[in-house]
Every structure is written in C-alpha cells, then in structure tokens.
Amino acid sequence: MARKKLLAGNWKMHKTRAEASEFFQSFTKLLGNVGDVTRSVEVGFGVPPTLFDTCLAKSQGTGVKILAQNCHYETHGAFTGEISVPQLLDAHLQGSIIGHSERRQYYNETNEAVGKKWNVLVKAGLLPIVCVGETRQEREAGKTLDVVKTQIDEALKFVSDEARSKEFVIAYEPVWAIGTGLTATPEQAEDVHKVIRDLLTRTFGEARSSTIKILYGGSMNAANCKDLLSKPNIDGGLVGGASLKPEDFASMVLTAKGLS
C-alpha cells in the first residue's frame, strides 16, 4: 500500500488569532470539500501555543491535524517557558514537531533531548515529527549522510522498544535550505530520503520501514512541490514560509492529492 502524503505547515512565531482565523477561512474555501481532501492527503499545522484553541476550532471536522512546534520530555516540573505532553493532550493537540534545526541551533537541543521527547510523545499517543538535517558546512564536507544517521541513531537510544512500535514521522530538513530560498534538487533530496529509508529498514525491518513517512523540509513551495513529491521516498513536506499563505499551501495540498 502506498504511503499517504503528509503536508505539515510550520508557522514558527507567526500569526495572531485573528490572522489564524482568516487563514483557515481562506484555506478551507480554497480546498473545497476539505474532508474529501484529507482522506487522500494528511494535512497538519505546527502552531504557537497562543493559537492552539483558535486553530482547533477553525479546523474542527476537517481532518486537519493541529500540532505543537516543540514540547518538553518531562511531564511536569520547574521548566519555565516549556510545555509538557500532558498539556498538549489536554489542549487536544495531535502531535508535535521535535528537533527542528532552529531548536538545535538556537536552544542547544541535543539528539538525546529529541529522543526523550519522541519517547514521551508516542507513549501518550501523539505523533512526533522528528527533524534531522545537515548544515551547509557539513554538506560541503561530505558529511550529510553521517550527520543524518547519527541524529536518528542517537535519538533512538532514548526511545523504548514499546515506543518504537508507535507511529512517527521523520522530516529531512537540510539546514542550508530553510528560509533561504535554496532547495535541494529533487534528486539530492531523494538520495538522502533513500538513505533514511535504508536506515529505518535496518532498524525496524522492511515491512515497518515501508509504512514510515519521510518528509522533505527545505523551502518546499507551490512551484517545486510536485517534483519533490513525485520521488518514491519523499512522502510529503514540512513547510515553513509557504504554509503561511493559504493560496500557496492549498495549492500544495491539492498537488499532493493529485499524486495520491
């Protein structure tokens, strides 16, 4: 069975409640029968905590997933500014992005922290979108595949056998292609996705690996998404800037639907 495409927007530190409401009004109108679309293509948005309630209300009944952009691996405690997985559950979210390169770069997030977050999310029945990817310097030094393998392997050390059996998504995001307008060619992206698939096959077996979604997360937009999504191991996108514009993101979702 073919893997269902997943397009996940990452709104980062953008949008007020009024802007989010306006977005969903336009986005759902552009998609037409949203429920029909989300039966063919999974759609989600990683949004700031101030927008959880608004986005959940505006997406109710559409099949669209509302996700956090980060979480803590402890269930409670003195961690000022953080949000716990029980709090995400209480807010009725369906998962969280973890290990985004901006978290790794600006907040010193380690592979260990990513693994612990992965572990607690899946144990709670929430979907982790686990981000991996190399910097420009690492790519130019020929270290892309080593970096990605290390990020996944080291995170998995902190994921229990039980948790490993639960659903998760990997997002390959070359750091040099995030917010820069640069994009890996479909061939470059597919090469890394194939390596990730092979790693997952060695770790989980071919049957399980064949069900795991691997997203591309480097400046995917309405113009390039068809070429990227047509590759056999690219199962969707973790989309930044283009997900802020309802016309662009709706176009991408409909493109993915056409490929399903």
Predicted local distance difference test score (pLDDT) of residue 1: 55
Domain that holds residue 81: 6-259
Specify whether 173 is catalytic: yes
> What's the pLDDT tens digit per position in 174-221?
888 777 777 789 999 999 999 999 999 999 999 999 999 999 998 899
Predicted local distance difference test score (pLDDT) of residue 59: 95
Is the CB of residue 67 less than 8 Å from the CB of residue 127? yes
- Does residue 83 lie in a domain region? yes
Spatial strand order in the sheet of 65-67: 65-67, 42-46, 6-10, 236-239, 213-216, 169-172, 127-132, 95-98
pTM for the model stands at 0.96
Residue of 100, 102, 190, 193 marked active site: 100
- Does residue 227 lie in a domain region? yes
> What's the pLDDT tens digit per position in 10-20?
999 999 999 99
- Does residue 45 lie in a domain region? yes
Count of structural domains, the chain: 1
What span, in angstroms and rounded, lies between the C-alpha atoms of 83 and 11?
17
Which residues is 9 bridged to in the sheet? 45, 239
Structure token digits, residue 242:
């283009």
Predicted local distance difference test score (pLDDT) of residue 248: 98
- Does residue 1 lie in a domain region? no
Predicted local distance difference test score (pLDDT) of residue 247: 98
Specify whether 112 is catalytic: no
Predicted local distance difference test score (pLDDT) of residue 148: 95
> What's the pLDDT tens digit per position in 53-76?
999 999 999 999 999 999 999 999
Average pLDDT over the chain, rounded to an integer: 95
Residue of 42, 102, 134, 173 marked active site: 173
Asked if the model's pLDDT at residue 3 lies above 60, the reply is yes
- Does residue 223 lie in a domain region? yes
- CB-neighbour burial class of residue 21 (10 A; exposed 0-12, middle 13-18, buried 19+): middle
* Contacts of 178 by beta carbon, 8 Å cutoff, 6+ apart: 101, 102, 217, 218, 219, 240
Q: What is the CATH number of the domain that holds 108?
A: 3.20.20.70
Binning pLDDT at 50, 70 and 90, where does residue 99 land? Answer: very high
